[in-house]
Structure 1
Amino acid sequence: MAGVSGCIKYSMFIFNFLFWLCGILILALAIWVRVSKDGQEILSSGDADVNSNVSVNILIAVGAIIMILGFLGCCGAVKESRCMLLLFFIGLLLILLLQVAAGILGATFKSEYDRVLNETLYENVKYLSATDDNAKAFQQALAEFQEEFKCCGLVRGAADWGSNFQQFSKSCECPEMPDDSCTVYDGKYVYKQPCISLLKGLMAKHIIIIIGIAFGLAVVEILGLVFSMVLYCQIGNK
């Protein structure tokens, strides 16, 4: 009868030990943000407190699941437990299937996502000309974005700012020697390009990064599935 390969066994242990450590780090960070005073200040600094809390709760769940799977994989490899290895395999397979389903849904509803994004950006134009406290955070965020990415306004250009233009014009202003990318608005040289295309491009770039990370995780998960099943079969044949 064939024995258990020491290389596969300890590779499986190291893989799952790192997996378990990642779960601990994610869980610890999420719990700290959820319960600590500093973490609550971070959450309350944004406009969407409920969404922030939901995100933290999801991170807590993800961290706990990763910890459990890492524990099952480590113990299953060291103790040569077919039951633990099988549970690890099933759990990892379910996560992989969920990732694939999420990817398919993301590709299916891409046009819907683009439509919602456009509607959201056009709807937010009204905050630029508003004077209430709720709009100030959005105005400040866009002003910083304008200064960094050399654009002005959200959809129609500088006109989006309305009566607030003079207050935020500095973030829109072109250099002392303006070129074709600049225009004159209300007595100031400002950038022609509205920020909507840059914002959409930035979001698309982030989505590509997320897809890349998800693909990398899928490769690691497939390796984990292969290692666990090979080890499971070797233990059965021992």
Structure 2
Amino acid sequence: MAGVSGCIKYSMFIFNFLFWLCGILILAIAIWIRVSKDGQEIISSESSGTNPYVAVNILIAVGAIIMILGFLGCCGAMKESRCMLLLFFIGLLLILILQVLAGILGAAFKPESDRILNETLYENVKILSETDESAKAFQQTLTEFQEEFKCCGLVNGAADWGNNFLQHYKSCECSNMQDSSCITYEGKHVYKQPCISFIKDLVAKHIIIVIGIAFGLAVIEILGLVFSMVLFCQIGNK
């Protein structure tokens, strides 16, 4: 009868030990954000009308699942437990299937997501000319964005600011009027380019990063599936 390969066994253990540590780290950070005063201030400052704890709760669930799968993989490898290895295989396979489905749905609904992004940006234009407290948080975010990306306004340029222009023009002030990217608006030299194109580019770059991470995770998960099934079969053949 063939024995269990020590190389596969310890590779499986190391892989899942790192997997388990990642789960603990994600879970610890998410719980800290959820319960600590500093963490609550962070998510409160980042919230924009939606429930600020939704993303944190998702992170807690993800961290817990990764930690459990890592534990099953480690123990299954070291104890040569076919039951634990099978549970690990099934759990990892379900995650991989969900990732693939999410990728397919993301590709299928990309035009719809682009439309929603456009509608959201155009609807948020009116917030720039408002004076209530809820609008000020968004206005502050856009002023910081304007300073970093050298743009002005959201969709239509400086006119988007309405009566609030003189309060916020400093963030999109253009120092060199000889520059073709600058215009004069209400006696102030500001950037002509609205921020909508930069926001779209930023969203596109983040999507590419997410796709890259998801692809990398898929490769690691497939390796984990292969290792666990090979070890599962070897234990059965002992």
Category of TM-score, reference length = shorter chain: over 0.9
Equivalent residue number for residue 102 of structure 1: 102
Equivalent residue number for residue 44 of structure 1: 44
Residue type at the aligned position of 2:175: P
1:67 deviation in Å?
A: 0.7
TM-score (norm 2): 0.97
For residues 157 and 104 of structure 2, the distance between their equivalents in structure 1, rounded to whole angstroms, comes to 36
Equivalent residue number for residue 203 of structure 2: 203
Equivalent residue number for residue 231 of structure 2: 231
For residues 74 and 49 of structure 1, the distance between their equivalents in structure 2, rounded to whole angstroms, comes to 42
Equivalent residue number for residue 90 of structure 1: 90
1:178–1:189 contact (8 Å) kept in structure 2: no
List per-residue Cα deviations over 1:36-88 (Å, max 9, x = no partner): 12222222223447532111111111111001100000000001111110100
Give the percent of matched residue pairs that are identical in Structure 1 and Structure 2: 82
Following TM superposition, the consecutive aligned residue runs of length 4 or more in structure 1 with deviations greater than 3 angstroms are 46-50
List per-residue Cα deviations over 1:147-184 (Å, max 9, x = no partner): 11011000000000111111111111112353111111
For residues 234 and 169 of structure 2, the distance between their equivalents in structure 1, rounded to whole angstroms, comes to 70
Aligned partner of residue 51 in structure 1, secondary structure: coil
For residues 104 and 46 of structure 1, the distance between their equivalents in structure 2, rounded to whole angstroms, comes to 29
Q: How many residues align?
A: 238
TM-score (norm 1): 0.97
Unaligned runs of 5+ in 2: none
2:69–2:92 contact (8 Å) kept in structure 1: yes
For residues 129 and 50 of structure 2, the distance between their equivalents in structure 1, rounded to whole angstroms, comes to 26
1:191 aligns with 2:183: no
Equivalent residue number for residue 182 of structure 2: 182
For residues 50 and 116 of structure 1, the distance between their equivalents in structure 2, rounded to whole angstroms, comes to 16
For residues 199 and 73 of structure 2, the distance between their equivalents in structure 1, rounded to whole angstroms, comes to 42
For residues 85 and 229 of structure 1, the distance between their equivalents in structure 2, rounded to whole angstroms, comes to 8
Equivalent residue number for residue 114 of structure 2: 114
Q: Structure 2 matches for 1:1-238, cutoff 5 A?
A: 1-48=1-48, 50-238=50-238
2:176–2:182 contact (8 Å) kept in structure 1: no
2:177–2:183 contact (8 Å) kept in structure 1: no
Residue type at the aligned position of 1:159: A
